[in-house]
Structure 1
Amino acid sequence: MTPLSPQPSLSRIRIGSAPDSWGVWFPDDPAQVPWQRFLDEVAQSGYEWIELGPYGYLPTDPAVLTEETARRGLKVSAGTVFTGLHHGEAVWEKTWAHVADIAALTRAMGASHLVVIPSFWRDDKTGEVLEPATLTPAQWRDLTSLTERLGREVRERYGLRIVVHPHADTHVDTEENVVRLLDGTDPDLVSLCLDTGHYAYCGGDSVKLIETYGERIGYLHLKQVDPEVLADVRAKGTPFGPAVAQGVMCEPPSGVPELGPVLEAAQRLDVDLFAIVEQDMYPCEPDRPLPIAVRTRAFLRSCGA
């Protein structure tokens, strides 16, 4: 529920938003708002931090992007990459080519995190099953070892820390699979981007994960799930993309998990953390995101963030 009065300040939490909250999933799509409008509106909503979103949506020239963000009072917290490292060494070179450009821009913008999203086992637009939903033991070994390699290479070459993002319709989704990834990787090389919405979508408890694996939490994405829509999605086996179009990710504080307790648990870790709002809304009408963003920022302030 919405707190009736402001809560004690969550001094270690830095709040931001992302292109995702403006319905942006792709570098270029006529259904999405222009990048200039996103930057204008995210600043107007009261956010100071943003993510890069899909590479190529925002300008990829650091000088241009620095000018555009600075004049709006914005700073970049992280870039995002997509990987399929469970496929083994055969995909390493292609993966690194994708990662390197994004890591370079991320570092040039003064950020220190790279959000790593595992590849989807079914297409997020069409729902086509691309591969089995469960990894073999050999694939798990490839996933963990190459994720560690990615963490090491990104840190050594770009000074960034990778944070792996559990995501619906990927192989890192449920509590069991998230814990398996964490237990199978070096804490010095691999941290977690805990997305509260995706974790709830897949049956996980964010507060419990923070309390149990707090030293592995390196970054947060804040979003909520509509329980009624989620029940329908689960009953029908709806793929993630159509589920988003159905409204499975909803405006806080109307869904789950409650974000106040999540932020309080994160604050108790006594480390500086980014908490980036991501309300998946692809596709959405161009005038829809701004009012939601303004209300969400006000709600988070009422939580002390």
Structure 2
Amino acid sequence: MTDIRWGYALNQWKPQFDDFVRREQHERALKTISIAGFEGVELTAGTGRWEPLGNPQQIDANFGSPEGFREFLAGCGVDAVSSFVFDPQQRSSEHLTGPLSPLAAADASAIVDKAAWFADALARLGGTVLVVRPAPSAGDIEPLDDGELDRLAACWQAVGRATSERGVRTALHVNFLSALRRDDALDRLLDRTDPDIVGLALDTAEDTVAGIDPIRTIERHGDRIRHVQFKDALAIDEANEYLQPHAQYAVLQRGGTREIPRWFAEPGADDGLVDFPAITRALLAARYSGWIVVESDQSPHPAASTLLAGYLVQRELRPIIDTFVRTPTSRSAS
């Protein structure tokens, strides 16, 4: 039986590091998410006092414990934290560590420890998935060879085992800048990992910007998808600018040579390139069960984006799922 739950990502409310730090701001955002029809919230890992929701230590400092934070969520009409997005290349003031690389064997144990730290808290917050950035950006390293893919696989296998022990899945999130976009690197990495331990996070906008039809990803890797992020794309990286050094800033943030003002938007945005009803049907055909987290990624109007996305989910996407579940042939197939 298909069991899909809907969540929303908080990242769009924090365009600058010192924004979105007050509890009343969090309360307003969470209540907006709730009234838009979402039952869970996705958090992005961060460090320091400017990230009060960014990691277990900061959650303890601001809410007493994960259980205290979950009570706060319930008071805003949100049931759970669906997922945490974890990038090991971010520094951590809580651990006094700089960027860690999954390509460096010496960093693997520290990455596993941090992943387990997040997974412990996530399980207490009702969540099920740790979404991880599996590799550096393509423009910052040479194409991945077999030895490097072996190291990536060993790192994420170890992470997957650690999170599984805590009831949390690990899902690789490949953004459009990722080194895993080159050649068949993602397929080669998935071939090196256990599907029961290391899954894939489908991001509809990242695929689309990369020139990949998300439905193709579902058809190729449907049995590995453990998490889904729905956001729209407003442009495609047709010139392969992801291969530029420091593309995180020159391409993603500054828009590249075309000066794209915004790569991403909420589902259903004007001029959006993603066909969400078709992708929803493809996920159902692949028997996907789990969270679908909607996001807008730095929307200039976060509350409006949330409500617009909620309208699309309630009026178009949920009915597709309900029809699928009610259809006898669909039930027997699943």
Distance 1:15 1:239 in 2: 30
Alignment size in residue pairs: 280
CA distance in 1, matches of 2:129, 2:242: 36
Residue 195, structure 1, aligned to residue 210, structure 2: no
Alignment match of 1:152 (pick from 157, 161, 165): 161
TM-score by length of 1: 0.81
Kept after mapping to 1: 8 A contact 2:203/2:231: yes
**Structure 1 residues 17-32: aligned runs within 5 Å:** 17-23=8-14, 29-32=17-20
Residues 1:164 and 2:176 aligned together: no
Name 2:329's counterpart in structure 1.
none
Percent identity over the alignment is 23
| TM-fit CA distance, 1:119 | 4.8
State the distance in 2 between where 1:95 and 1:105 align.
Answer: 16
1:72 to 57, 69, 76: 76
In the superposition, relative to structure 1, how do residues 91 and 236 fare at CA in structure 2: closer, same or farther (>3 Å)?
closer
CA 1:251–1:278 in structure 2 vs 1: closer, same or farther (change >3 Å)?
closer
Normalising by structure 2, we get a TM-score of: 0.75
What residue ranges of structure 1 are gaps of 5+ in the alignment? 1-9, 123-128
Q: Indicate whether 1:255 and 2:272 are aligned.
A: yes
Seen in structure 2, the aligned counterparts of structure 1 residues 271 and 87 have a Cα distance that, compared at 3 Å, is closer
Matches of 1:172 and 1:236 in 2, distance apart?
Answer: 11
Q: How many Å apart are 1:11 and its aligned residue?
A: 5.9
> Given the superposition, is the C-alpha separation of residues 196 and 20 from structure 1 closer, same or farther in structure 2, using an over 3 Å criterion?
same
One-letter amino acid matched to 2:302 = P
- Structure 2: which amino acid aligns with 1:69? L
Q: Which runs of 5+ in 2 are unaligned?
A: 54-58, 89-99, 245-249, 319-334
Q: Where does 1:1-305 land on structure 2 (aligned, <5 Å)?
A: 12-23=3-14, 29-32=17-20, 34-55=25-46, 56-58=51-53, 59-60=59-60, 61-74=65-78, 75-83=80-88, 85-121=101-137, 131-156=140-165, 158-173=166-181, 176-227=184-235, 230-231=237-238, 234=241, 238-243=250-255, 246-253=261-268, 254-281=271-298, 285=300, 288-305=301-318
Distance in 1 separating the partners of 2:294 and 2:74: 20
CA RMSD of aligned residues (A): 2.8
Q: Which moved more, 1:144-153 or 1:11-20?
A: 11-20
SS at match of 1:172: helix
SS of 1:303 mapped into structure 2: helix
The Cα of 1:136 is off from its aligned counterpart by: 2.7
Structure 1 stretch displaced more, 272-281 or 53-62: 53-62
Give 4+ residue runs of structure 1 displaced > 6 Å after superposition.
none
The residue that corresponds to 2:96 in the other structure is none
The 8 Å contact of residues 265 and 272 in structure 2, kept in 1 or not, is answered as yes
Letter in 2 for 1:43: S
Rg larger for: 2
What letter corresponds to residue 291 of structure 1 in structure 2?
A: A
